[in-house]
Amino acid sequence: MTENKRVEEFFTPHNQLLIQQKKEWTEIITNFETRNKYQILSTQGVELGFMAEQGSGFGAMLSRWFLRTHRPMKVMVWGADREELMQLERPFFWFFSDLTVRDPQGNILGHVYRKFGILHKKYDLATDTDKIFARVVSPIWRLWTFFIKDNTEREIGTISKNWGGLLKEMFTDADRFQVSFGNQNWREKAVIFASAISIDMDFFDDNQRNN
């Protein structure tokens, strides 16, 4: 099976996916940042795959500690069969980020661009040819829900953080997102899915330290 066929078969059947961040007890207890790790679940709770931020050693630790959410990032995505599905890469940035979505061979599937916004948090979602097919927007005062809109401003999906309650948010900081798709093709679904990781890094990754 080709890599792109594997990605196509992963995303095509699903209109919703859950992303559950996995926190290690050492990180929860000591507030010592480790690499981000996530489960990919169906709405019925069946594990469909997993993701893990790459990079180990002292240099990677310093990058996570000092550069925080602006650090360069590479996340590998695997299916339940432990076969690689995608690679998500984002270089260091100051204000406006570019997360590139690739298949296992390194071919670009699309991009997630963080854009400037005063009253809204904004991302542009682009194809492999850099054509914008959708935008992610969320009012500043609605931190938990990000609306996906097409070029006609029609809502075609959402990315929502399932808030776990005050104690859970303060002491575990384990983020959980629900990604709802519309009638997009599998490539666009892959980019929408990847945007949830960019959102988690930008707006929720520092929650535990800030608390």
- 3-state SS of the chain? CCHHHHHHHHHCCCCEEEEEECCCHHHHHHCCCCCCEEEEECCCCCEEEEEEECCCCHHHHHHHHHHHHHCCEEEEEEECCCCEEEEEEECCCCCCCEEEEECCCCCEEEEEEEECCCCEEEEEEEECCCCEEEEEEEECCCCCEEEEECCCCCEEEEEEECCCCHHHHHHCCCCEEEEECCCCCHHHHHHHHHHHHHHHHHHCCCHHHHC
Q: What is the pLDDT of residue 158?
A: 96
- For the cut 50, the answer to whether the pLDDT of residue 192 exceeds it is yes
What's the average model confidence in pLDDT over 199-206?
A: 80
> Which domain covers residue 65, as residue numbers?
3-210
Tell me the CATH number at 136.
Answer: 2.40.160.200
Q: What is the pLDDT of residue 30?
A: 41
- For the cut 80, the answer to whether the pLDDT of residue 194 exceeds it is yes
How many domains does the chain divide into? 1
- For the cut 80, the answer to whether the pLDDT of residue 143 exceeds it is no
